[in-house]
Amino acid sequence: MSFRIRGLDPRPFAALFTLDDADLARRRAMRTVADAQPGYPCRVTLEDAAPGTPHYMSPESLRTPDRVDARSDIYALGATAYFLLTGRPVFEGSLPEVFAHQLGTPPVRPSERLGRPLPEALESLVLAALAKTADERPESASAFADALSRCAGVPPWTEAEAAGWWREAGARIKAARSGAEPPRAAAALTIERLPAAAQEEIPGGG
């Protein structure tokens, strides 16, 4: 068995080779190094595939996936918090567009995306976790949690309250993901015996 490997003609893309990452991001393009490990994913084994869920990947995990640290997880935590606050990912579009935004586009403030005010300290913390540079983010999950506990205007949410929310909303979320009809709350039917005077006013009552 033999194979022929073919690629695109590089000449139409020659102008892109001289641009830095910021210029590429403005053109909705992203640089991928294919001559180093890690480089371009092996389509047979996926040994070299970049780990992570695209909408939650930090900028450095796209630029230098072999040199990320725990602060990359802080970005993912910020992206998760953003989704919980707004119901939408930080950036939307095709995969190349999402990656380009993650590299060079500041996120829209959650309150602007949501269309109503949010506690300023909470919003600032989420945006800090989404900083393009790892040094500008909270240094650890513990630091993020401590800052979250100090956010003014954010009521506490206990584990018991979270469990109760999941009991009520979990079935609806699963139904939405599967495309099934969401479960409906059972209607309550109350039956009372009418007073004798009221029964006499109803035809056939007695």
Could you read off the pLDDT of 47-71 as tens digits, one per residue?
Answer: 545 556 789 999 998 888 888 899 9
Could you read off the pLDDT of 163-193 as tens digits, one per residue?
Answer: 887 787 777 777 777 766 655 544 444 445 5
pTM of this structure: 0.60
Structural domains in the chain plus CATH codes: 19-154 (1.10.510.10)
Q: What pLDDT, on the 0 to 100 scale, is given for residue 200?
A: 55
SS3 track for the chain:
CCCCCCCCCCHHHHHHHHCCHHHHHHCCCCCCCCCCCCCCCCCCCCCCCCCCCHHHCCHHHHHCHHHCCHHHHHHHHHHHHHHHHHCCCCCCCCHHHHHHHHHHCCCCCHHHHHCCCCCHHHHHHHHHHCCCCHHHCCCCHHHHHHHHHCCCCCCCCCHHHHHHHHHHHHHHHHHHHHCCCCCCCCCCCCCCCCCHHHHHHCCCCC
Tens digit of pLDDT per residue, the chain (206 long)? 455 555 566 677 777 778 888 887 777 777 665 554 444 455 444 454 555 678 999 999 888 888 889 999 999 999 999 998 998 999 998 888 898 999 999 999 999 999 999 999 999 999 999 999 999 999 999 999 999 989 988 888 888 888 887 787 777 777 777 766 655 544 444 445 555 555 455 455 55
Q: What pLDDT, on the 0 to 100 scale, is given for residue 120?
A: 94
